[in-house]
Amino acid sequence: MSDTLNLAQALLQRRSITPDDAGCQQQLGDRLAPLGFVSEPMRFGEVDNLWLRRGSEGPLFCFAGHTDVVPTGPEEKWQYPPFSATVADGMLHARGAADMKGSIAAFVTACQRFVAAHPDHRGSIALLITSDEEGPAVDGTVKVIETLQTRAERIDWCLVGEPTSTSRVGDVVKNGRRGSLNGLLRVRGIQGHVAYPHLARNPVHQAAAALAELAAIEWDQGNAHFPPTSFQIANIHAGTGATNVIPGELEVGINFRFSTEQTADGLIQQVETLLERHQLEYSLDWNLSGNPFLTEDGALLEATRTAIEEVTGYRPEVNTAGGTSDGRFIAPTGAQVLELGPLNATIHKLNECVSVADLDTLSRIYQRILEKLLLK
C-alpha cells in the first residue's frame, strides 16, 4: 500500500460528480500544508477550485488537474461499486481512477518526496485543481487563470495529468491539442402536410446539399504537429415524429476539431459564406471551446522526455491527438504546457480502472521532472 495508492483511494471514495468536488480539494490542501504549500480556494459560481503554491519566486512549475468525474452510468453494471476504490489483481477500480484522481495523487506524493529531499529548491511549485473540467468548463481553470493574470502570477511550466498513455504508462505525452469549435445551425422552413408539399418548405431538403458540401470539404492537410482539420455533424433533428408532417425547422449540431492551420473566425466565415450561397433561411450560434495550442521543444518537454526514459527505460511518443483539455486555458498565457498521465483505455467507461504499479511509476516520473527543472 503505497502513499500514492492510499491517497488515490481516499480521493476516489468521494462522490465528486461534476461539478461537485465533494471535499477532495480540502484533503489535498491539508496533505500539502505541512510542506509549506499555501491553499487558496477559489469558488466561482457552483465550482470549487484550488490554487496551492509553495514559494514566491520564479520559475513556477504547476501541476494541473481536476477532481470532478463524469457520471457512473448504471452502478449495478460495475464489477465493483464505482466509489469503493477497490483494488483487485493489481488494478484500482473506481470512477475517476484514470481520469484523473490517480494523477492528482501522484502529483501530491511526488511533491512530498521532492520537497522532503530538496526543501530549498529553486523557484516555486503549484497545483491548480478544478472541479469543472468534465462539465461546462466556464467557472474552473479559465477563471483561476484570469485571477492569476490580474495579479501578474505567471506559470512557466505546466504539466496536466490527463490520461495520455496508450499501452504502457508514459509512452505518450501530449504537447498540444486541436481547437474545438461547435455550432448550432437552425434552418427554417414551412411546416405542412406531406401530401401538399407545394404549400410547405422542407428545411431538410433545403439544407441537404449544403451539409453534404461541408462534409466533403478538405479544410487543410494539417502540419507536422497536427492532423487535418475535421468537420463532423454531431446531432441532427427535424420533424414532429409523425410521418405525414413536413418539418418546419431543421436543427444541426456541428463540430470542428481544427489545427493551427485554421482560426475559429476563418472557419466561421467559410461556413456562413457557404450557407448564404445555398440561400438558406437560417441562424447559427457558435461556441469556441478552445483554440489549438502547441508546446515546442524546450525545457519542459526535454525534462519530461528524459524523466520518462530514466524511470521506465523507454522514450515517449509526443503528439497532439485526442480531445481538448484544460491546457487550452493555460497555454495562451505563454506557459509551456504538456499532458502526461496513466492509460486512457477505460476512461469514461463502466469499470474504469488504473494499474496500482502505474500510479507509483507516474509519481516517480513527476518527481524526476521536478528534479530536472527546480534543482539548482
Q: How confident is residue 324, by pLDDT bands cut at 50, 70 and 90?
A: confident
Please state, in angstroms and rounded to a whole number, the distance separating the CA atoms of residues 133 and 274: 34
Note the pLDDT of residue 376. 76
Note the pLDDT of residue 1. 77
Q: What is the pTM of this model?
A: 0.91
Cβ-in-10-Å burial (0-12, 13-18, 19+) of 231 comes to buried
**Cα torsion 179, 366, 142, 150: sign:** negative
What cell was used for 330?
A: 493555460
Active site residues: 68, 133
CA diameter of the chain: 82
Please state, in angstroms and rounded to a whole number, the distance separating the CA atoms of residues 293 and 290: 9
What cell was used for 17?
A: 460528480
Rg (the chain; Cα; Å): 23
What cell was used for 185?
A: 445551425
Please state, in angstroms and rounded to a whole number, the distance separating the CA atoms of residues 268 and 133: 25
pLDDT tens-digit readout, 114-161: 999 999 999 999 999 999 999 999 999 999 999 999 999 999 999 999
pLDDT tens-digit readout, 185-237: 999 999 999 999 999 999 999 999 999 999 999 999 999 999 999 999 999 99
Please state, in angstroms and rounded to a whole number, the distance separating the CA atoms of residues 290 and 103: 23
Please state, in angstroms and rounded to a whole number, the distance separating the CA atoms of residues 234 and 80: 33
pLDDT tens-digit readout, 84-120: 999 999 999 999 999 999 999 999 999 999 999 999 9
